Amino acid sequence: MKREDAADLAGSTAVGSLVAFVLLALTVTGRHGATLFGDADLLSWSVAHRPDVALAVARGATYTGTGIIPYVLVALAGIIVGRSPRQRAVAAAVCVGCLAAAQAVRFGVMSLVSRPRPATVEWATHASGWSFPSGHTTTSAITAGLLILAVLARAPHGRGALALLIGCWGMLVGLTRVYLGVHWFSDVLGGWLFALSWLSLSVYALARLAPRSYSAIAAPHPRPGPTEERRHGSRGHREFPPRPTP
């Protein structure tokens, strides 16, 4: 994809997801934090289906969406994208800054909306602060998005499967917040929309403002097939016709 095309696609995605997020935030605010369609049903189902093994898995997954782990992962994404030591350092710093800025903006939005969490009697893990949008969901989704972009840019083999695995982790962290009873599903949906708009805006800015050495996403060079090898080989070992005898 050309740089201009990537910028146009990212810009359109950023606008669409941002509009959806703002509409959801206004709906939550207009209802004074009351549950939206499906919120109560999904929470009730989660509370009724909590075997010990599932709870342990959910708690383990949800802990990967906060703290130092996301920052280590986004720094790794920057290291993967860079080609030289200097580019790797700059890309890692940019990715860490992208996540930190997103968390700061999300915290401001969360304070403005001031949506209460579900009742503490339903909680199966520790939580603090207001509810909308979900912090774990936003953080893990942005982390997963940056890792997916890095994998698609640099992984030589198995990029699709690895990107799918990373995306599933990002979604799983968000869903565990509902399963553990500390968020409504609309909080998780808000976190996904916020993350998508933030990632798209970051890609747009990268494509428009960054030098081409940092913003160009190079496809891996495939290994030549047998036909290409024979063709190149024939060029390197050209046979000349015998000279005619006098």
Residue 80 · residue 92 · CB < 8 Å: no
Question: Cα separation of 236 and 49, whole Å?
Answer: 68
Report residue 241 as tokens. 């016709």
In the predicted model, is pLDDT for residue 64 greater than 70? yes
Query: How many other β-carbons are positioned within 10 Å of the β-carbon of residue 81?
Result: 23
In the predicted model, is pLDDT for residue 59 greater than 50? yes
In the predicted model, is pLDDT for residue 172 greater than 50? yes
* pLDDT tens figures, 143-168: 999 999 999 888 777 788 999 999 99
Q: Which of 65-69, 80-84, 224-228 has the highest mean pLDDT?
A: 65-69
Between 118-127, 153-162, 230-239, the lowest mean confidence (pLDDT) is in 230-239
Instruction: Taking the CA atoms of 170, 174, 179 and 182 in sequence, report the sign of the dihedral they define.
Output: positive
Q: Crossing angle of helices 135-154/185-209, nearest 10°?
A: 40
What angle is formed at CA 144 by the lines to CA 53 and CA 134, rounded to 5 degrees? 70
What share of the chain has pLDDT > 70, as a percent?
84
> What is the predicted pLDDT for the residue at 83?
84
Question: Cα separation of 82 and 211, whole Å?
Answer: 13
> What is the predicted pLDDT for the residue at 239?
44
pLDDT band at 242 (very low <50, low <70, confident <90, very high): low
Among the listed residues 192, 217, 212, the one whose alpha carbon sits nearest the alpha carbon of residue 13: 192
Query: How many other β-carbons are positioned within 10 Å of the β-carbon of residue 83?
Result: 12
Exposure pattern of 84-107 as b/e (b: 16+ CB <10 Å)?
eeeebebbbebbbebbeebbeebe
Residue 182 · residue 58 · CB < 8 Å: no
- pTM here is 0.84
- The residue written with tokens 């906060």 in the block is 66
Backbone angles phi, psi at 84, to 5 degrees: -115, 165
pLDDT band at 5 (very low <50, low <70, confident <90, very high): confident
pLDDT band at 210 (very low <50, low <70, confident <90, very high): low
- The residue written with tokens 């495939």 in the block is 222
Residue 152 · residue 163 · CB < 8 Å: yes
